[in-house]
Amino acid sequence: MPQGSSQHLPPGGRPHRVAVIVDEGTNPFEVGAATELFGLPRPELGLPAPLYELTLCTPTPGIRMNHGFFTLTGVPGLDAVDGADTLIVPGRPDNVVPRGAAVLDAIRRAHARGARIVSFCTGSFALAEAGLLDGRRATTHWRWADLFRELHPKVLLEPDVLFVDEGDVLTAAGSAAALDLGLHIVRRDHGAEIAVAVSRRLVFAAHRDGGQRQFVERPVPDVPDESLAPLLAWAQERIGEPLTVADLATRAAVSPATLHRRFRAQLGTTPLAWLTGERVSLACRLIERGEERLDVVAERSGLGTAANLRARLRRETGLSPSAYRRRFGPAAGEPLRA
């Protein structure tokens, strides 16, 4: 379990402030996801202060959420957006109806002053209406992809991924992808070890790459024995070993081609990409726990060489191993030793 240390806190030691705009018709699931990810106290982390401080806000008092199942009252107005470091815009089903001017203005103000802007599900429509997505990569729920292209042709829509990270603007696909993007943000802010702890509390996969597909053709395998769950559990226990795709296929008693098809159908990714993602996650956790020797991190994570570790870590996190350690390691110190 992660132990408290100052590198997990924002500059000045205060929690990172997150605001969520709850508009008329907003989906409750995405609001709940934001609350679970960024609003709950986490005493199990042993940190001196919360990681995030969450505020819900609405354009008018008494907002009725999707289908009128809930009415949200007693929360701040949109002025609360002006103090946020990150602004989250959840989705709603009526995407033909334009967002109100006050909501769009709040989104634009937050972006103009440098806040990180995040959309969950069809919240990307609001970001596009505000003009934040023109010429950028973005995603949305697959069901609304054609409408999105019709309404916002200048956006570089990627409809078959879980989420897209454009740095200051991030978009998630269907509702459950909000959890994937949220954990990605936690990992980007506080490192893999904290993200794993949060995912454990959620009882949710710690890391699904944003490039994975939103949905699969066969969510439930026709033949129970084709489930990848036993194979994934076996591989995760041996992720630091020199496992290959051929080894996974042998373990599953299928050909590599069949294994590839099953990974695509059930996980929306390839066996090699899954292996690499698990190994990079392990490498990050080793660095966070204080391992300074780059060759040891590469060997124990299954990435093999220091050069491969550097390349994979930079691709996944945008940081070199030394920069990653300075940001997320147990204490500032010398660069990692090769």
Which pLDDT score is estimated for 13?
64
Kindly give the pairing relationship between strand 137-138 and strand 71-72.
Answer: unpaired
What residues pair up with 118 in beta bridges, in sequence order? 88, 170
Which pLDDT score is estimated for 122?
93
Which pLDDT score is estimated for 205?
63
Residues in the chain predicted with pLDDT less than 70, given as ranges, are 1-13, 205-226, 331-338
Which pLDDT score is estimated for 202?
81
Which pLDDT score is estimated for 80?
94
Please name which of 276, 277, 291 lies closest in space to residue 321, comparing C-alpha atoms.
Answer: 291
Which pLDDT score is estimated for 148?
95
Provide the CB-side half-sphere exposure for 302 (13 A, CA): 20
Which pLDDT score is estimated for 315?
86
Please name which of 144, 169, 170 lies closest in space to residue 159, comparing C-alpha atoms.
Answer: 144
* DSSP label at residue 4: -
- The answer to whether the beta carbons of residues 277 and 207 sit under 8 Å apart is yes
Contacts for 97 with CB less than 8 Å, ≥ 6 apart: none
d(CA 213, CA 130): 27
Reported pTM: 0.72
What residues pair up with 171 in beta bridges, in sequence order? 119, 164
Which pLDDT score is estimated for 311?
92
DSSP string, 101-162: HHHHHHHHHHHHTT-EEEE-TTHHHHHHHTTSSTTSEE---GGGHHHHHHH-TTSEE-TTSS
Q: What is the pLDDT of residues 164-173, one digit of tens each?
A: 999 999 999 9
* DSSP label at residue 228: S
Ramachandran category for residue 184: left, alpha or beta (phi over 0 → left; psi -120 to 50 → alpha): alpha
Looking only at Cα atoms, what is the longest distance across the chain?
60
Q: Residue holding tokens 């990050």?
A: 284
Which pLDDT score is estimated for 251?
92
Provide the CB-side half-sphere exposure for 32 (13 A, CA): 9
d(CA 17, CA 54): 6
Please name which of 104, 139, 101, 93 lies closest in space to residue 119, comparing C-alpha atoms.
Answer: 139
Please name which of 147, 213, 145, 225 lies closest in space to residue 176, comparing C-alpha atoms.
Answer: 213
- The answer to whether the beta carbons of residues 194 and 51 sit under 8 Å apart is yes
d(CA 307, CA 26): 46
Which pLDDT score is estimated for 165?
92
Q: Which backbone phi and psi does 124 adopt, to 5 degrees?
A: -60, -25
